[in-house]
Structure 1
Amino acid sequence: MQKRSRRLNIYFDPDILKQMEARAARRNLSKSALVETAVLSFLTDDAAERQEAATSRRLDRMSRQIAGLEEDLSILAETLTLFIRFWLTSTPPLPESARASARAMGLERFEGFLTALERRLATGDRFLRERSRDIAARQGAADSDPTE
């Protein structure tokens, strides 16, 4: 059974009517079809479009977060590589007689390192964020330095 459309007389502000006529002409629609689509869109709240927009915003935010993580990981890898290279090239091998005491001292220093790491993680501040702030502060000071 076919639904029958019913006639409804409505009044528009002349400026809105001009916009509606122009839009209908551009889309090759009748004014009735355009109004019906607009009213239906209003009544259904365009849930799918809002969901798509919200998803796009989330994906954009996640992309920026991933880019930040990639940068942090790159800095971390470079830092670790430089440290290992420095340590391997500057630390001479120990004689057999000194290895036991060096191992004991190393374990003690490692425990101190873990304690400092736990303390730092508990504060929520991270080295890379702190370092980024230091760099930004130095760059800001250099940009505002009148001697340059």
Structure 2
Amino acid sequence: MTAKRIKHTIRLPPDLSAQLAEFSIRKRVPQAHIVEAALASFFSPDGSDRIEAAVSRRLDRLSRQADRLEYHIEVSNEALALFIRFWLTSTPPLPDTAQAAARATGKDRYEGFLDALSRRMELGPKLSGELSKDIGPGVG
């Protein structure tokens, strides 16, 4: 035996009525069941707690992702700074007569660097992965 039901007549704005009808067709559920579930959820005392918990979980996930991004940016900045410091301290200045040849060689080497960088970004391995293997788990 089914539970007793009381008939209600409500008026909805046209756009909300269209959304209800479309959702009903898509889910293959009567509109009355959708309205009933929506009202039950609205009047449920723990409804706001569930929403707050869902939002909290999403914020926690975003926070962890932001922390990982911060770590990877820090690793990138430190690696670049170390390379620049090493390069500046170990590379002697060129005489004026060798400047043109150095520029031409530098241009070729830079293009090779860009090719290698694009291949590495597409295929890996990534520096952060190599650091994790070298240092061990639990870092970053």
Tell me whether the two structures share a fold, i.e. TM-score over 0.5: yes
TM-score in terms of structure 1 length: 0.57
Q: Distance in 1 between matches of 2:47 and 2:127?
A: 43
Shift of 1:51: 1.6
1:46 aligns with: 46
Q: Give unmatched runs, 5+ long, in structure 1.
A: 1-39, 138-148
TM-score in terms of structure 2 length: 0.60
Q: Distance in 2 between matches of 1:130 and 1:53?
A: 36
Cα distance change on mapping 1:82 and 1:59 into 2, 3 Å: same
Shift of 1:89: 1.3
Q: Give unmatched runs, 5+ long, in structure 2.
A: 1-39
2:10 aligns with: none
1:133 aligns with 2:111: no
**Aligned pairs (5 A) from 1:90-109:** 90-109=90-109
Structure 1 runs of 4+ aligned residues shifted over 6 Å read none
Q: Distance in 2 between matches of 1:81 and 1:88?
A: 11
RMSD (CA atoms): 2.4
Per-residue Cα deviation, 1:85-134 (whole angstroms, up to 9, x for no partner): 11111111101111111111111111111111111111254221232123
Identity %: 55
Query: Greater CA radius of gyration, 1 or 2?
Result: 1
